[in-house]
Amino acid sequence: MGATRDQLGESPVWDERRQRLYWIDALAGLIHALDPLTGSVEQFSVPAPIGSLALRGDGGAVLALRNGFAAYDFDTRTLTEGPSIGLDHPKVRLNDGKADSRGRFLAGTMHGDRAADEAPLGGLYRLDAAGALELLETDLAVSNGPCFSPDGRTFYIADSARRIIWAYDYSPEGPLANKRVFVNTEPQGSGCDGATIDSDGYLWSVLVRIGKIARFAPDGTIVRTIDMPVRHPTSVSFGGPGLDVLYITSISRSHALGDDHPDAGGLFGVEGLGVRGLPACRFGPG
């Protein structure tokens, strides 16, 4: 869809107000905005690398950058820096993120090139609209796919390096609780990357190393898979006027993975799945 070819496409999110799909090229420092009716794509340049974005309630977006957060105004194309996670390490950066139902933004880190006996640095951070930042979880090597059950009471996040999706009891005001394994994807031969929840409470996740999208039931069993034409899809989000199109980003050339397929790095849309997504939660008030 469109004519983009991302190095590392990530973080798709549907804007119901503007009827646009936003996503990023993490390594190029680009935010894309697709108008599905015309196929036109507008681009915005931000500091690279960018880990993820969430739409703001008052317009624009909140961004997870290398080691801190920022606000971006699409109308004026201006960036306003926010709090830092206080960790400046060449192999650690913020990665995937999502907003919760109370307007907080949760984003986790990835710690690349770790030794086998080296504990990962960073963790999962939660930012509120007033700029307060808290560390919710540690011991995440490569965090990906944060998402919430339809009632907002269960939080999911993958550690792609360990090939596990964790589930927690979630409160926007309190700590994470009752950590448990939702699914171990080692039998599938891949860690999970980006993820989203549909209106039935099923989790859709990318199996990034085997070119598939998997739909997991609330008990963690795989009930459906989609084979992708490219080797390394990265993230998923439902969009479109009926929230019934599954948008999928992909890799052409990241630090660790590459694909010479002519459509690698492209944005894909899958229709006719018979399921709908949920409206994206926004950061902050509004």
φ, ψ dihedrals at 61, nearest 5°: -145, 160
100, 193, 198, 244: the catalytic one is: 193
Contacts 24+ apart (CB under 8 A), 86-89: 87/121, 87/122, 89/121, 89/122
Dihedral (CA of 91, 93, 95, 97) sign: positive
CA distances from 131 to 59, 93, 104 (A): 17, 19, 10
Kindly state the DSSP code that residue 252 receives in the 8-state scheme. S
The two three-digit tokens of residue 20, written as one number: 């646009």
CA distances from 96 to 116, 125, 136 (A): 23, 11, 15
Maximal C-alpha separation, the chain: 51
Say if residue 283 is exposed, middle or buried (CB neighbours under 10 Å; 0-12, 13-18, 19+): buried
Measured distance CA(162)–CA(180) in Å, rounded: 14
The reply to whether 193 belongs to the active site is yes
Contact 108, 143 (CB under 8 A): yes
Tokens 């913020």, located at residue: 94
Contacts 24+ apart (CB under 8 A), 255-260: 255/27, 255/112, 256/112, 257/208, 257/209, 257/231, 257/232, 258/232, 259/230, 259/231, 259/232
Q: Which residues are catalytic?
A: 193
